[in-house]
Structure 1
Amino acid sequence: MSSRRVLHVITSLDRGGTEGFLAGLAPKLRARGIEQEIAVMVDGGDHATTLRDAGFVVHELGMSRGVPDPRGLLRLARCVKAFNPDVVQGWLYHANLVAALVAAVSAPRAKLIWNIRSVEMDPADYGWSLRLVVKLGAWLSRWPGAVVFNSDAGREAHQKLGFSPEKLQVIQNGIDTQRFRPLPDKRDAMRASLGLGEHAIAAAVIARNDPAKDLPGTVAALDHAGGVTGVFVGTDTEKLDAGQHVVLGMRRDVPEILSACDMVVLGSKSEGFPNAVAEGMAAGLPAVATDVGDVSLIVDEYGRVVPAEDSMALSAAIAMMAQLTPGERAALGARARDHIERSFSMDVCVDRFAALYER
């Protein structure tokens, strides 16, 4: 058993892939004897409640998005001194820089670890401030003991951006296959609540409305596929011009929603390790996804992978999946779940983080 003390510093604890991953990882690490506290730059968020309910101390630093706040840094410095961590781990670009600054001043003997979850970003889609933060991260990347990515694609992209190659390593996400599993007893009621007809073919699209996710392109691909209804779940999806498709915004019952669907679809332009694809497969759905990040590794032979930013190729793959019989899709989905259980279990991921903290 470990006796390490880890302070996680994260930008926010709203509903999102990274935030949800940390909320799932922390209890597993605690079971290995690793004591943890969490500092969140922006107050609130569903996962802050989840972590507190699980017995973790969550420090809210009272910062605003995109606005540097020295008072938040002082609050974090006090947290660091009180907790006296062995490891300070940042999650995402802004939190990485904040963790580095405060750890250097308040816990110079603690090991600093950064965690980056993105791959490549189109500069035209994001403001100058984020581009500056990424450049600062590259310049300071020799400072942490390790910079952890959740995909090989992310590591390679950031090495090209100037991040110190000897510090970069990959720990792929672990999937909670107990939470994300087939739920056949929930299917009929959920389909009725979503307004899906008995014979409707539904594609789950679990993604926030962000340029990298290219949800408008996914809507177009579904429209061209014909006869397939997209079920969009994620932050700001309610702002989509989605026509006849089902748009739900942020929801807490994603496993139940997946049970109502027949495939999981990802049309992103950029990804690292997309949890939504792996979680959909763990729920017993075959996948149709664009070839970004580690998608090919995740989907393997248990779905269809098409070039990114090719709406017609995505549409054709969705249509091909829709043309399978229900039995054929179910068999492919069962094999997809088995693949996720064998290759991307949470236990393997936890082992690698625990070993990193011990080194």
Structure 2
Amino acid sequence: MNKKILYLITEDWFFCSHFIERAVAARQSGYDVVVVAREGVHGKQIRDAGLRLVPLEIQRRGINPFKEMATIFRVLRIYRAERPDIVHHIALKPIFYGSFIARLTGLKNIVNAPVGMGFIFSSSSVLAKSLRPFVNLAMRFLLNPRGSCVVFENQDDLNDAISTDRVRQSDAVLIRGAGINLDAFPVKEEPTGKVTVVLTARMLWDKGVGEYVAAARLLLQRQTQARFLLVGAPDIGNPAAISLQQLEDWEREKVIEWLGHRQDIPEILSNSHIVCLPSYREGLPKSLLEALAAGRPVVTTDVPGCREVVRHEENGLLVPPKEVLLLAEALARLIDDADLRRKQGRKGRQRAEQEFSSQEVIGATLDLYGRYDSCR
């Protein structure tokens, strides 16, 4: 019988966005692949890829102890029924629940992937601050149990986890993001006309969307000739979600153009000049990898995840988080300098080809599965 890999993740859309290529590659390599996630509109895509989906009602922001206990028991039943050889837990709640249940059921081959560390570590809200000590405590016991590997998307998070004794150095693995399909993002010459800046992300405050809008407002007040686009939908399952009312208010103010959720990101990038993501913290942002692949310069924040993708003055510009004036100045510099945009865009494409291709990420992940005994 083929060895079985079970992925535990909260949302089917996030699995399809960041992990489905690796799961398909695992299936093609001979593994039986099971995905356990809340089924939304992406269930068909998972099944059409030849993967088996086990629906699970799990809420990312749920903290009701009775509901969470019921979820834990459902996961326990699934693990006992499936008896996987390897479990791959993605994001903090699946890591905590999955690692706990793996211990109960005797599963030892555990891959934990905390990805961007989530709302708890990126937000400055009262809720996030109040939950952070409990999450840190849980991480000490469940992030790196014996027999597990912990996959980080950027060097900052990996170093921090080791220095704080949450992860053993021998078990820490760096696989930088989801990778990018270079063929899907051909490099095209800049479009003519007004310079267009685009932010592509879930519409969350923690993505720096508010700072982006404020910087756009400041530049337009200075008579800067540019368009500012927002691409993405509100993520209602995240406490940092921006309301639909707020997005519509910004549009009515004529500061930004909000395009909502779009599937044609390569076309949007080819019709834009600059990509911006003033995030507070990331794992390794896929939108910036797409910008690099498309040959577009980036303005982003000097925070974990973002600085893994952008080297200051090489393929983009880094600014401190939450600094609207400095963000506006960096955007203005690229808006006014076409030669700099083209130079940084070329460097970005080179980095995408050399460091961030999806084949690199797929290969590293399959190597991890294949040499799993070396992680114990």
Question: Where on the TM-score scale, by shorter chain, does this alignment land: which range?
Answer: 0.7 to 0.9
After superposition, give the CA deviation of every residue in 1:265-324 in whole Å (9 maximum; x if it has no partner).
111122231221111111221111111114334222122222222221211111111112
How much has 1:183 moved relative to structure 2? 6.1
Tell me the secondary structure at the aligned position of residue 329 of structure 1: helix
Stretch moving more, 279-288 or 172-181 = 172-181
Stretch moving more, 279-288 or 253-262 = 253-262
Alignment check: 8 A CA contact 1:116 1:149 kept? yes
Alignment check: 8 A CA contact 2:197 2:228 kept? yes
Residue in structure 1 matched with residue 184 of structure 2 by the alignment: 179
- Judged with a 3 Å threshold, the aligned counterparts in structure 2 of structure 1 residues 219 and 160 are, in CA distance, closer, same or farther, namely farther
Structure 2: gaps spanning 5 or more residues: 235-241
* Residue 58 in structure 1 maps to residue 23 in structure 2: no
**Alpha-carbon distance in structure 2 between the residues aligned to 1:125 and 1:231:** 30
- Judged with a 3 Å threshold, the aligned counterparts in structure 2 of structure 1 residues 159 and 230 are, in CA distance, closer, same or farther, namely farther
Tell me the secondary structure at the aligned position of residue 49 of structure 1: helix
**Alpha-carbon distance in structure 2 between the residues aligned to 1:73 and 1:146:** 22
Q: Note the 1:30-179 alignment, pairs <5 A.
A: 30-40=27-37, 43-65=38-60, 66=62, 67=64, 68-106=67-105, 108-118=106-116, 120-124=121-125, 126-127=127-128, 128-129=130-131, 132-143=134-145, 145-159=148-162, 162-166=165-169, 167-173=171-177, 174-179=179-184
Tell me the secondary structure at the aligned position of residue 122 of structure 2: coil
* Residue 215 in structure 1 maps to residue 209 in structure 2: yes
Q: Note the 1:1-359 alignment, pairs <5 A.
A: 4-14=3-13, 16=14, 20-40=17-37, 43-65=38-60, 66=62, 67=64, 68-106=67-105, 108-118=106-116, 120-124=121-125, 126-127=127-128, 128-129=130-131, 132-143=134-145, 145-159=148-162, 162-166=165-169, 167-173=171-177, 174-182=179-187, 199-225=193-219, 226-236=224-234, 238=244, 239-240=246-247, 241-242=249-250, 243-244=253-254, 245-300=256-311, 301-325=314-338, 329-358=341-370, 359=372
Q: Return the letter of the residue paired with 1:111.
A: N
**Alpha-carbon distance in structure 2 between the residues aligned to 1:131 and 1:168:** 22
- Judged with a 3 Å threshold, the aligned counterparts in structure 2 of structure 1 residues 126 and 70 are, in CA distance, closer, same or farther, namely closer
Residue in structure 2 matched with residue 194 of structure 1 by the alignment: none
- Judged with a 3 Å threshold, the aligned counterparts in structure 2 of structure 1 residues 328 and 103 are, in CA distance, closer, same or farther, namely same
After superposition, give the CA deviation of every residue in 1:335-357 in whole Å (9 maximum; x if it has no partner).
32122111111122122211222
**Alpha-carbon distance in structure 1 between the residues aligned to 2:300 and 2:265:** 18
Alignment check: 8 A CA contact 2:186 2:293 kept? yes
Q: Return the letter of the residue paired with 1:33.
A: G
- Judged with a 3 Å threshold, the aligned counterparts in structure 2 of structure 1 residues 6 and 130 are, in CA distance, closer, same or farther, namely farther
Residue in structure 1 matched with residue 239 of structure 2 by the alignment: none
Alignment check: 8 A CA contact 2:197 2:227 kept? yes
- Judged with a 3 Å threshold, the aligned counterparts in structure 2 of structure 1 residues 222 and 29 are, in CA distance, closer, same or farther, namely farther
The size of the alignment, in residue pairs, is 341
The two structures have a TM-score, normalised by structure 2, of: 0.81
- Judged with a 3 Å threshold, the aligned counterparts in structure 2 of structure 1 residues 74 and 36 are, in CA distance, closer, same or farther, namely same
Structure 1: gaps spanning 5 or more residues: 189-197
Alignment check: 8 A CA contact 2:155 2:308 kept? no
Q: Return the letter of the residue paired with 1:319.
A: A
Tell me the secondary structure at the aligned position of residue 63 of structure 1: coil
How much has 1:126 moved relative to structure 2? 4.1
How much has 1:125 moved relative to structure 2? 5.8
- Judged with a 3 Å threshold, the aligned counterparts in structure 2 of structure 1 residues 296 and 64 are, in CA distance, closer, same or farther, namely closer
**Alpha-carbon distance in structure 2 between the residues aligned to 1:135 and 1:312:** 37
Tell me the secondary structure at the aligned position of residue 143 of structure 2: coil
How much has 1:70 moved relative to structure 2? 4.1
Tell me the secondary structure at the aligned position of residue 155 of structure 1: helix
Alignment check: 8 A CA contact 2:281 2:305 kept? no
- Judged with a 3 Å threshold, the aligned counterparts in structure 2 of structure 1 residues 200 and 338 are, in CA distance, closer, same or farther, namely same
Alignment check: 8 A CA contact 2:281 2:306 kept? no
Tell me the secondary structure at the aligned position of residue 196 of structure 2: strand
**Alpha-carbon distance in structure 1 between the residues aligned to 2:213 and 2:164:** 32
**Alpha-carbon distance in structure 1 between the residues aligned to 2:298 and 2:59:** 37
Stretch moving more, 3-12 or 162-171 = 162-171
Alignment check: 8 A CA contact 2:284 2:308 kept? no
Residue in structure 1 matched with residue 237 of structure 2 by the alignment: none
**Alpha-carbon distance in structure 2 between the residues aligned to 1:73 and 1:64:** 12
Tell me the secondary structure at the aligned position of residue 182 of structure 2: coil
Alignment check: 8 A CA contact 2:293 2:349 kept? yes
- Judged with a 3 Å threshold, the aligned counterparts in structure 2 of structure 1 residues 125 and 343 are, in CA distance, closer, same or farther, namely farther
Alignment check: 8 A CA contact 2:231 2:261 kept? yes
How much has 1:96 moved relative to structure 2? 0.5
Alignment check: 8 A CA contact 1:5 1:34 kept? yes
Identical aligned residues as a percent: 24
Residue in structure 2 matched with residue 192 of structure 1 by the alignment: none
